[in-house]
Structure 1
Amino acid sequence: MDHQSVITPWDLECMLCDEAAEPKALPLSLLKRITHDFSDEQAIGRGGFAVVYKGMLENRTVAVKRMSNTYMYEKEFQREVECLMIAKHKNVVRFLGYCADTQGNMARYEGKFVMADVQQRLLCFEYLPKGSLHEYITDMSCGLRWRDRYQIITGICQGLHYLHHKHIVHLDLKPANILLDDNWVPKITDFGISRCFHEMQSQVITKITGTPGYLAPESYNHTKVTYRHSYQLDIYSLGIVIIEILTGNKGYHDVDKVVESWSNMLEQSQSEVQKKQIRVCAQIGIECTNFDPAKRPDTLHIISRLDETESMGGYIKTGMITSQQVGDVLNKLHQDAPNTPRESSSERMPL
């Protein structure tokens, strides 16, 4: 039933503006209202068992994912909510709330009126107007500059590292499930087949689903995968994604040829640093796609490798400046000039 009807579009907008706000149960009436009753004009994406709509608030926009065939995909809905309630990271899509509504509906069946339950299962997220990464990496010679691609690679790796730290295995990592904000910050989304293991170390995955082309080879062996080895499934998918970001294509590529193909498209003043970054990323991509799961690196190793390449060029050379780095610089300036009046500002650098 629609017990949370007191929540308004303004309340949802306040949640969106407050990064500390926790996801909550949302009324069906609210989600109907902001999507114009789930009109086709508001639809912005369709998947195997869901349609995503644009939800219009007072001054902001959200995305509303409405599940279809809810009886068939009830487990997927519950798993997705479970993962999203745990996952709070700058490289994971911001989850605002869910709706699990069931109402009785009179319908005629074999000449008689019977009461049938109608289920509604919906999820609400931040809206990212740039869409998915898939739309920007079809060809390395057009679209994103290297510094943007490098930021996307590092962001995906950081997001996946966070998920694995939280014992969440995504199981369907691919460019279509990576959204981009206005500053090209990647955000992992679509946790419909993900698994959250908690401390149930004896748990296994008996049926591995996902997207062909991104599935690890062991996914086709019809063998059980324990929680300890399940993370390597994501690592393989990550490697395919990295190679695709580098080249526009899936599959193995020679590292030297990847670097050479980028040589004429790099910023001249930063080309040597960026070539090193490209080489390291290509090596990581190839290592992640090793057919032997035991030889694939874990996310901690990957992050440390990327951190080394970032330090090669410093903050300015890579074009990657974090809010923490900005704050450190500002604090240092204030310490050097203690008698200088400080200007107050409510603005924060978007990342």
Structure 2
Amino acid sequence: MQRTRDDLEKKLHDSNTTPMFFPLEFLKAITCDFSTESVLGEGGFGVVYKGVLRSGKVIAVKKLFEIRLKEDTFQNEVRYLMGIKHQKIVQFLGYCAESSWEAIEQPSGSGKFIFGELPKRLLCFEYVCNKSLDNHISDESSGLEWNMRYEIIKGICNGLHFLHEECHMVHLDLKPENILMDSTMIPKIADFGLSRIFGEQQTRIVTDNRAGTCGYMAPEYLIRGVVSNKADIFSLGVILIEIITGDRDYPYFHHDRSQRDATTFQQFTEKVR
């Protein structure tokens, strides 16, 4: 393990290294056995931990919930992320896919145990220190300067264009919580668990569970299962409204609120011309 850890840490310091497999024991070591003190955040599919290397370099380790784990979703995300490298996309460093046999008490409460195989699935990413976009946009975007808002919008569009045109991928869960901000407020798109790759195909109909986040899902996808780049563009539009006005529900409130937000949008466009 000592030699393996040294080799892995050396590779993690190489910016040109390709995503790789990480043993579970290595990830336990750098996260203090997934301690609560190492938790960076929690989402619908797992908990993200801070992994600290001996050099002090930090990476993010996402441990997927076993009870909600879908093997095809995990494999899809790994497969999609392996070939993506872009400054507006969070950098994928590697994965862990191991299983362990553990004694599990039967739910009847009889005190009897059965042995079950529990999958351990983890994803490792670059550590992005400035939290996610949702922490920076509320109450008219928390006072962010107009030029900063414009640069954030431009960065998200840049990353999304790369996904659509170069990777032929639809994200399908684009929202502020899945856009990470670095120390200079550069946005990085993250969380590709629901993404789909199309190849040359432009539109697809899905009949399985249409997962996503209410408020950011395009109507044609939510109602009829139509998946295309336009689904992400709808989500992007909602995010733009939030960045500009600080509120996702624009303009469906009272007249005075709508009038105020219209004025805010006009000021924004004038500032960034």
Is TM (by shorter chain) over 0.5?
yes
Question: C-alpha deviations, 1:19-61, integer Å up to 9, x for none?
Answer: 3210011100000011111111111111122011111112211
After TM superposition, the score normalised by the length of structure 2 is: 0.85
Give, in whole Å, the separation in 1 of the partners of 2:67 and 2:98: 11
For residues 184-203 of structure 1, what are the structure 2 equivalents within 5 Å? Answer: 184-199=185-200
Which is higher, the Rg of structure 1 or of structure 2? 1
Q: Do structure 1's residue 275 and structure 2's residue 270 form an aligned pair?
A: yes
Distance 2:25 2:154 in 1: 39
After TM superposition, give the deviation of residue 129 of structure 1 in Å. 1.4
Kindly state the Cα deviation for residue 204 of structure 1 after the two structures are TM-superposed.
Answer: 3.3
Residue 141 to residue 33, structure 1, CA distance change in 2 (3 Å): closer
Q: Deviations over 1:80-138 (max 9, x none)?
A: 11221122110110110000001223456677664421210000111111100100111
The alignment's C-alpha RMSD in Å is 2.6
Q: 1:88 to 1:141 in 2, by over 3 A?
A: closer
Gaps of 5+ in 2: 252-257
Structure 1 gap ranges (5+): 263-273, 278-308, 310-351
Q: Secondary structure at the match of 1:101?
A: strand
Q: Which has the higher contact order (CA 8 A, sep 6+)?
A: 2
Asked if the contact 1:77–1:192 (Cα under 8 Å) also holds between the matched residues in 2, the reply is: yes
| Residue of structure 1 equivalent to 2:85 | 88
- What residue in structure 2 maps to residue 133 of structure 1? 133
1:28 has 2:24 as partner = yes
Cα distance change on mapping 1:41 and 1:111 into 2, 3 Å: closer
Rate the CA distance shift 1:12–1:61 in 2: closer, same or farther, 3 A: farther
Counterpart in 2 of 1:303?
none
Match of 2:242 in 1: 244
Q: Is the 8 A contact 2:99 2:117 kept in 1?
A: yes
For 1:144-293, what aligned pairs fall within 5 Å after superposition? 144-165=144-165, 166-199=167-200, 204-206=205-207, 207-221=209-223, 223-225=224-226, 229-250=227-248, 251-252=250-251, 257-261=263-267, 275=270, 277=272
1:5–1:29 Cα contact (<8 Å) kept: no
Q: What amino acid is the match of 1:99?
A: C
User: Once the 2 structures are TM-superposed, how far is the Cα of residue 201 of structure 1 from its aligned partner?
Assistant: 6.7
- The answer (yes or no) to whether the contact 1:91–1:185 under 8 Å persists in 2 is yes
Return the alpha-carbon distance in structure 2 between the equivalents of residues 131 and 51 of structure 1. 14
Residues 261, 202 of structure 1: CA spacing in aligned structure 2 closer, same or farther, 3 A cutoff? closer
What letter is aligned with 1:232? K
Q: Deviations over 1:116-165 (max 9, x none)?
A: 21210000111111100100111226342222221111110010011112
Q: Which residue of 2 aligns with 1:98?
A: 95
SS at match of 1:79: helix
Q: Hey, what does 1:51 align to over in structure 2?
A: 47
Write 1 or 2 for the structure with the bigger share of helix: 1
Q: Secondary structure at the match of 2:41?
A: strand
Contact 2:171 2:195 in 1 (8 A): yes
